[in-house]
Chains A and B, each alone.
Chain A
């Protein structure tokens, strides 16, 4: 990995990390939804600093160039993130349903 690529990757990793921590600090992002982003930032940082690891992983997954490995893991990350949010949304949908039903039943009871 060229030095310039390493610097760019480290910079992006640091920006992700700082942004997430700042969002959590300002309570704009809940801790429970921040971990996946922090793990990604940390992963990017490790790959950027330890270029030998990226080469090893590239060989392991059968990719020809390191950039393919980065794209591969980027796509995996997006899939995992979407799945995670689908699970969260499903839980929210169930909670909203139950809350709406309770609200409707309570309104009926108070009107009696």
Chain B
């Protein structure tokens, strides 16, 4: 049994329809694990429902985006002394039965970051060809740079340890679409990254960060962010366990 403290962070924006089910599923599979819902300025009853379901709730005063909500969760986790954080989406896309697997794997201390990959799982995950191309491109770039196979660089289902939390609460964390650039940043900072297979469900409400003209901006931002990340000085001194 894990002695360390673990927290599940759920960034949520107008997820009143899903949040109770997601928290319920987490409880069903993981018992009394601590849950934090970061309400990203929702205009519906998301924070009230999450609190009623037994989740701690931190409410941002207005909608600041997925990355800012996630980073708020990291700041909360670090201040409350959590050792591990599992982050997952509030729309029910991430199956909570893998939380236990994440915590088991990270407790082995063979990796600082675990990425849940939908493409390592045996179950087929259907996506459009355009999205598949984008995901493949950035996974390929990440794999090439970090010299390690990355199959799902856009996965938001991840588990991180305390050292990574300390790294993510800084202003160097790219709150605007944190994706492949974060993987490269983590690698340059000396963190060890691993992927584990997870099953992801299709987003049935079709509410995604990658709709409209946003994919174009996403591609532009990701190329720019990766490029400047490689130009910057390597961040150092964040992985404390490496020193001990």
Within 8 A of A (CB), among B138-172: 171
Contact with A along B25-67 (1 / 0, CB 8 A): 0000000000000100000000000000000111111101000
- A78 interface contact, C-beta 8 A: no
Q: Is the interface of A mostly helix, strand, loop or mixed?
A: helix
Min C-beta distance of A86 to chain B, whole Å: 14
Q: Which of B57, B68, B171 contacts A100 (CB 8 A)?
A: B68
Task: Determine, out of B69-77, B102-110, B221-229, the stretch whose residues face the partner at the interface.
Answer: B69-77
Min CB gap A95→B, angstroms? 10
Interface centre among A97, A104, A107, A108 (most CB of B within 10 A): A104
Q: How many A residues touch the partner, as a band?
A: 10 to 19
A-B interface contact total, Cβ < 8 Å: 34
Knowing A94-B171, A97-B175 are in contact, say whether A105-B64 is a contact too (CB < 8 A).
no
Say yes or no: is B79 at the interface (Cβ < 8 Å to chain A).
yes
A101 within 8 A of B: yes
Determine the residue in chain A with the shortest Cβ distance to B74: A101
Residues 175-192 (chain B) with a chain A CB within 8 angstroms: 175
Closest to A112 in B: B56
Q: Which residues of chain B have C-beta atoms less than 8 A from A97's C-beta? A: 64, 68, 175
Q: A103 to B76, alpha carbons, bound, how many Å?
A: 12
Q: Which of A94, A100, A104, A105 contacts B79 (CB 8 A)?
A: A105
Q: CA of A107 to CA of B41 in the docked complex: distance in angstroms? A: 14
CB pair B60–A104 under 8 Å, yes or no, is yes
Distance in Å from the Cβ of B132 to the closest Cβ of chain A? 32
Asked if A101 contacts B68 (CB within 8 A), the reply is yes
Among residues of B, the one whose C-beta sits closest to the C-beta of A109 is: B79
Say whether A100 contacts B59, CB under 8 Å. no
Contact B64 A107 (CB under 8 A): no
Q: Is the CB of B59 within 8 A of A104?
A: yes
Closest-CB distance, B69 to chain A (whole angstroms):
9
Contacts A94-B171, A105-B75, A105-B79 given: A100-B62 contact, CB under 8 Å?
yes
A104 touches B61 (CB 8 A): yes
* Pairwise interchain contact A108-B56, C-beta atoms closer than 8 A: yes
Measured between alpha carbons, how far is A98 from B175 in the docked complex, in Å?
11
Q: How far is the CA of A98 from the CA of B60 in the complex (A)?
A: 11
Interchain nearest-CB distance for B58 vs A (Å): 5
Nearest residue (CB) in B for A111 is: B57
Starting from the known contacts A104-B58, A105-B76, 5 additional A-B residue pairs (CB-CB under 8 Å) come to: A100-B60, A100-B62, A103-B61, A108-B57, A108-B59
**B contact residues vs A (CB 8 Å cutoff):** 38, 56-62, 64, 68, 71-72, 75-76, 79, 171, 175
Closest 3 CB pairs of A and B: A101-B72, A108-B58, A104-B58
